[in-house]
Chains A and B, each alone.
Chain A
Amino acid sequence: MSQRKRLSASQNKAPSRSQAAVESDDEDDVTFTQLTSTQVQRARESFTPVQIDRKVAEVVQFVLIKDQRKVPIRRADIAKHVIKEYKAMYQDIMKRVCRTFEQVFGLKLVEIDSKSHVYILTNKLESLPEEPVSMVPTSPKYGLLFTILSVIFMKGGVVKEALVWNFMKKLRVDPGERHDLFGDVKKLVTDEFVRQKYLEIARIPHTDPVEFEFRWGVRAEKEVSKKKLLEIVGELFDQDPHSWTQQYREAAAAEASQR
């Protein structure tokens, strides 16, 4: 009972019951939202600035490693693998981690799921044409992803799974066959890109046989410039980006909200 009271008193929402049941790691999450301000105060006094600096560096490295594989980072994992006994200092440490990412790396740690506290790193710097050394060591995979995102965007934000597969077949990428560069194409698109939050896949209700549809994932929304995408599509079709009125409006709106 007392536990529940403290939970509701704190700023952070505890994970919902169903999630806590599925992911046992979230138990860690619950414990550090229960800390009282006196506990935090005591912790601040018991760790030296050097110890805290070290922890900040460890969290930064941990996040960079996770981000390499584009795996979203869970707060519970940061707490369990890095923060450990510094749990009371979590908020202080994370504030400094965020500041370091912005000031030193030009990156932003964004919470994409406020319920289960999941983060991704996004870039604050714009990618520019004609870089002498690529800032993005592109794997061919991301060329494919960009194509899929373009199709979804040009089709108004959501497309049926079958449409994506048909489109890819036209590009001679058959989702049913093993591809030289992409391996198992179907798995790459429906599993890896979805896990990395570039794509979202959902079942279309009341369909028999079952059908699925694709949308942009949170990471794509944060990282991919719709305006640039439209410019590239415009170049491909030799058409003025303005001529796609709806897409142009959406791209401009997205651009404005990112500023």
Chain B
Amino acid sequence: MTRPMVDSHRRFLQTMMSNGIIDGSQAEALHKHCCEAAGVNYSQDRLDEFIEVINIHLQPMFMHIRKGMSEDDGLQYYALVNLAETDVTRMSSDYADNELELFRKIMDLVAESENGTASSTDILNCGDALLSKKLKKKETEQVLNKFVQNKWLTEKHGEYSLSTRCIMEMEQYMRTLYQDLIKNCHVCDIIAFQCQMCENPDCGIRMHLPCVARYFRGRSDPHCPACNEFWPHEIPEIHRPLASQSQPSSAKENTAPRSTPSTSQTRRSSRRL
């Protein structure tokens, strides 16, 4: 017995399609908004149930709204992911062959790294060694910017990492591709890229930075939760979730310009002005 979708679900889905990914508090506000707009009953604690109804109907289309965690702030996010092909070919309509090859190389670098990042220097060198068509330094920089703008990568101090949305979409693909190189976080059991690693070679567990911060909070003498070896890394500051994550509501009818990057194939660009 499947519950039918009504306009509240459709509005939620359309918003997911145009944004690709939203954070947990945005999802809550959106849930409320969609129920009120459609004049249906709203209960705060039913968000996951609400999304499940959408997911059941999305399943035949090989699409899914998935819940995930950001490796930067440890917050929860919801992303609309495409299960049809779990390959980077998903990005293909937006990128040229050599750009896709570069992206695969970046994924290689990230998967092989200890902390889930790839330096811009290493990436620039990759651009020079592409088989499909070499990229000049300048071109590689432009492509990198495009990846960041389209929310596939994030950049901090010249270090690139996979965005939350990228990880949520590509998780299965990367597990198949990199197998043992991919490990889950010891604390939250979610796939971990940007993380700290236990330096005991027999242990080597990984923990997300926000998970490390939470786990070792208030401990002056941190030890590995698995092997009890001393934890030699600097403990990051705990992220304080902002009181309100939602964007300021836009002017009536969205006539005010706002720039939001958009790529994912299933995302919809401007609709109804």
| A21 contacts partner chain B, Cβ-Cβ < 8 Å | no
Contact between A133 and B15, CB atoms less than 8 A apart: yes
Query: In the complex, which of the residues B32, B84, B250, B255 contacts A232, with contact meaning CB atoms closer than 8 Å?
Result: B255
Report how far A250 CA is from B18 CA in the complex, Å.
31
Stretch at the interface among A143-151, A154-162, A203-211, A241-249: A143-151
Contact between A106 and B29, CB atoms less than 8 A apart: no
With A53-B60, A140-B257 as known contacts, state yes or no: A134 contacts B15, CB within 8 Å.
Answer: yes
With A57-B61, A132-B26, A133-B19 as known contacts, state yes or no: A64 contacts B269, CB within 8 Å.
Answer: no
Closest to B251 in A: A129
Contact between A132 and B254, CB atoms less than 8 A apart: no
Query: In the complex, which of the residues A125, A137, A224, A232 contacts B269, with contact meaning CB atoms closer than 8 Å?
Result: A137
| A1 contacts partner chain B, Cβ-Cβ < 8 Å | no
Contact between B247 and A133, CB atoms less than 8 A apart: yes
Mask, A52-75, CB within 8 Å of B = 1, is 010011001100110111100000
Query: In the complex, which of the residues A68, A105, A127 contacts B254, with contact meaning CB atoms closer than 8 Å?
Result: A127
Closest to A58 in B: B84
Q: Which residues of chain B have C-beta atoms less than 8 A from A56's C-beta?
A: 60
Q: Which residues of chain A have C-beta atoms less than 8 A from B253's C-beta?
A: 127, 129, 146, 228, 232
With A131-B250, A132-B246 as known contacts, state yes or no: A137 contacts B22, CB within 8 Å.
Answer: no
Residue from the set B60, B93, B270 with the largest chain A CB neighbour count within 10 Å: B270
Residue from the set A61, A124, A136 with the largest chain B CB neighbour count within 10 Å: A136
Report how far A9 CA is from B161 CA in the complex, Å.
60
Interface size on A, residues (CB 8 A): 47
With A132-B29, A134-B250, A223-B273 as known contacts, state yes or no: A67 contacts B259, CB within 8 Å.
Answer: no
Contact between A132 and B260, CB atoms less than 8 A apart: no
Q: Which residues of chain A have C-beta atoms less than 8 A from B137's C-beta?
A: none
Q: Which residues of chain A have C-beta atoms less than 8 A from B58's C-beta?
A: 104
Shortest C-beta distance, B57 to chain A (Å), equals 5
With A57-B84, A61-B265 as known contacts, state yes or no: A133 contacts B246, CB within 8 Å.
Answer: yes
| A128 contacts partner chain B, Cβ-Cβ < 8 Å | yes
Report how far A131 CA is from B12 CA in the complex, Å.
11
Q: Which residues of chain B have C-beta atoms less than 8 A from A181's C-beta?
A: 257
| B135 contacts partner chain A, Cβ-Cβ < 8 Å | no
**What are 23 A-B pairs at a CB distance below 8 A?**
A61-B265, A64-B17, A64-B268, A69-B269, A100-B61, A105-B14, A106-B13, A127-B253, A128-B33, A133-B26, A133-B29, A134-B254, A136-B18, A136-B272, A136-B273, A137-B258, A139-B257, A145-B273, A181-B257, A223-B271, A224-B273, A228-B253, A232-B252
Which residues of B does A touch, CB under 8 Å?
4-5, 7, 10-11, 13-15, 17-19, 22, 26, 29-30, 32-33, 37, 57-58, 60-62, 82, 84, 93, 246-247, 249-250, 252-260, 262, 265-273
8 tightest A-B CB contacts, nearest first:
A106-B10, A132-B29, A140-B257, A137-B260, A127-B272, A65-B265, A129-B252, A135-B15
